[in-house]
Copies of this chain bind each other. A is one copy, B any other.
Protein backbone atom coordinates (compact mmCIF):
# COMPACT_ATOMS: atom_id res chain seq x y z
CA UNK A 1 0.00 0.00 0.00
CA UNK A 2 1.56 3.27 -1.07
CA UNK A 3 1.08 6.22 1.22
CA UNK A 4 -1.72 8.39 -0.02
CA UNK A 5 -1.07 12.06 -0.42
CA UNK A 6 -3.36 14.87 -1.47
CA UNK A 7 -2.14 18.23 -2.61
CA UNK A 8 -4.11 21.34 -1.83
CA UNK A 9 -3.86 24.57 -3.66
CA UNK A 10 -1.27 26.97 -2.36
CA UNK A 11 -0.52 30.42 -3.74
CA UNK A 12 3.13 30.13 -2.81
CA UNK A 13 3.61 26.81 -4.58
CA UNK A 14 1.72 28.15 -7.58
CA UNK A 15 4.06 31.15 -7.76
CA UNK A 16 7.17 29.00 -7.31
CA UNK A 17 6.12 26.92 -10.29
CA UNK A 18 5.40 30.04 -12.32
CA UNK A 19 8.81 31.44 -11.47
CA UNK A 20 10.49 28.25 -12.63
CA UNK A 21 8.53 27.95 -15.86
CA UNK A 22 9.22 31.60 -16.57
CA UNK A 23 13.00 31.42 -16.47
CA UNK A 24 15.66 29.66 -18.44
CA UNK A 25 18.07 29.86 -15.52
CA UNK A 26 18.25 26.75 -13.39
CA UNK A 27 17.45 28.39 -10.10
CA UNK A 28 18.52 27.39 -6.64
CA UNK A 29 16.16 27.41 -3.69
CA UNK A 30 17.61 30.68 -2.45
CA UNK A 31 17.06 32.38 -5.77
CA UNK A 32 13.39 31.38 -5.66
CA UNK A 33 13.23 32.52 -2.07
CA UNK A 34 14.69 35.95 -2.86
CA UNK A 35 12.36 36.47 -5.79
CA UNK A 36 9.27 35.46 -3.88
CA UNK A 37 10.06 37.28 -0.68
CA UNK A 38 9.21 40.49 -2.48
CA UNK A 39 5.63 39.27 -2.86
CA UNK A 40 5.40 37.32 0.39
CA UNK A 41 7.62 39.06 2.95
CA UNK A 42 6.89 36.41 5.56
CA UNK A 43 7.89 33.56 3.26
CA UNK A 44 10.29 31.08 4.83
CA UNK A 45 13.12 29.32 3.09
CA UNK A 46 12.04 26.03 4.60
CA UNK A 47 8.71 26.35 2.89
CA UNK A 48 10.39 27.02 -0.44
CA UNK A 49 12.30 23.77 -0.04
CA UNK A 50 9.15 21.92 0.92
CA UNK A 51 7.28 23.19 -2.11
CA UNK A 52 10.15 22.54 -4.50
CA UNK A 53 10.23 18.94 -3.33
CA UNK A 54 6.46 18.64 -3.74
CA UNK A 55 6.70 20.00 -7.29
CA UNK A 56 9.35 17.38 -8.02
CA UNK A 57 7.05 14.69 -6.56
CA UNK A 58 4.33 15.93 -8.85
CA UNK A 59 6.66 15.71 -11.81
CA UNK A 60 6.21 19.38 -12.61
CA UNK A 61 9.87 20.28 -12.18
CA UNK A 62 13.15 18.41 -12.08
CA UNK A 63 15.91 18.49 -9.52
CA UNK A 64 19.21 18.42 -11.36
CA UNK A 65 21.36 16.41 -9.08
CA UNK A 66 24.05 14.00 -10.06
CA UNK A 67 25.41 11.32 -7.80
CA UNK A 68 23.59 12.16 -4.62
CA UNK A 69 24.69 14.50 -1.89
CA UNK A 70 28.10 13.02 -1.20
CA UNK A 71 31.34 13.97 -2.84
CA UNK A 72 32.81 10.99 -4.65
CA UNK A 73 36.51 10.49 -5.18
CA UNK A 74 38.03 8.54 -8.01
CA UNK A 75 41.64 7.55 -8.62
CA UNK A 76 40.89 7.09 -12.31
CA UNK A 77 41.87 10.54 -13.54
CA UNK A 78 41.47 9.76 -17.24
CA UNK A 79 38.26 11.07 -18.77
CA UNK A 80 35.60 8.38 -18.67
CA UNK A 81 31.87 7.99 -18.34
CA UNK A 82 30.03 6.66 -15.31
CA UNK A 83 27.24 4.21 -14.78
CA UNK A 84 25.04 4.62 -11.70
CA UNK A 85 22.76 1.82 -10.54
CA UNK A 86 19.31 3.19 -9.82
CA UNK A 87 18.68 0.44 -7.30
CA UNK A 88 21.83 0.10 -5.20
CA UNK A 89 23.58 3.36 -6.07
CA UNK A 90 26.85 1.74 -7.03
CA UNK A 91 29.00 3.63 -9.51
CA UNK A 92 30.96 1.91 -12.26
CA UNK A 93 33.40 3.31 -14.78
CA UNK A 94 32.26 2.80 -18.35
CA UNK A 95 35.00 1.61 -20.66
CA UNK A 96 34.10 3.27 -23.93
CA UNK A 97 35.77 6.03 -25.91
CA UNK A 98 34.83 9.65 -25.31
CA UNK A 99 32.49 10.89 -28.02
CA UNK A 100 34.27 14.10 -28.84
CA UNK A 101 32.08 14.86 -31.87
CA UNK A 102 29.30 15.60 -29.40
CA UNK A 103 31.16 18.71 -28.32
CA UNK A 104 31.05 20.10 -31.86
CA UNK A 105 27.43 19.10 -32.28
CA UNK A 106 26.44 20.81 -29.05
CA UNK A 107 28.56 23.90 -29.78
CA UNK A 108 26.49 24.59 -32.88
CA UNK A 109 23.24 24.83 -30.92
CA UNK A 110 24.24 28.05 -29.19
CA UNK A 111 26.93 30.72 -29.07
CA UNK A 112 29.18 28.78 -26.74
CA UNK A 113 32.61 27.16 -26.81
CA UNK A 114 32.80 23.66 -25.38
CA UNK A 115 35.93 22.11 -23.91
CA UNK A 116 34.63 18.77 -22.68
CA UNK A 117 31.59 16.93 -21.42
CA UNK A 118 30.58 14.50 -18.71
CA UNK A 119 28.07 11.69 -19.07
CA UNK A 120 26.34 9.39 -16.63
CA UNK A 121 24.31 6.34 -17.58
CA UNK A 122 21.51 5.13 -15.31
CA UNK A 123 19.98 1.68 -15.03
CA UNK A 124 20.50 -1.57 -13.17
CA UNK A 125 23.86 -3.14 -12.42
CA UNK A 126 24.56 -6.86 -12.81
CA UNK A 127 23.81 -7.63 -9.18
CA UNK A 128 20.51 -5.79 -9.18
CA UNK A 129 19.45 -7.34 -12.50
CA UNK A 130 19.10 -10.75 -10.88
Contact = CB atoms under 8 A, between A and B. Distances in A.
Given A74-B26, A117-B122, A112 B86 contact: no
Interface in A52-97: 52, 55-56, 59-67, 70-77, 81-83, 85-86, 90-96
Contact of A103 (B25, B85, B121): B121
Contact of A77 (B59, B122, B125): B59
Contact of A61 (B73, B95, B109, B125): B73
B123 A28 contact: no
Contacts of A118: 66, 119-120, 122
A112 B83 contact: yes
Contact of A96 (B24, B67, B109): B109
Count this chain's copies in the assembly: 2
A45 interface: no
A72 B24 CA distance: 12
A38 interface: no
Interface centre among A30, A62, A75, A114, by most chain B C-beta atoms within 10 angstroms, is A75
A112 B123 contact: yes
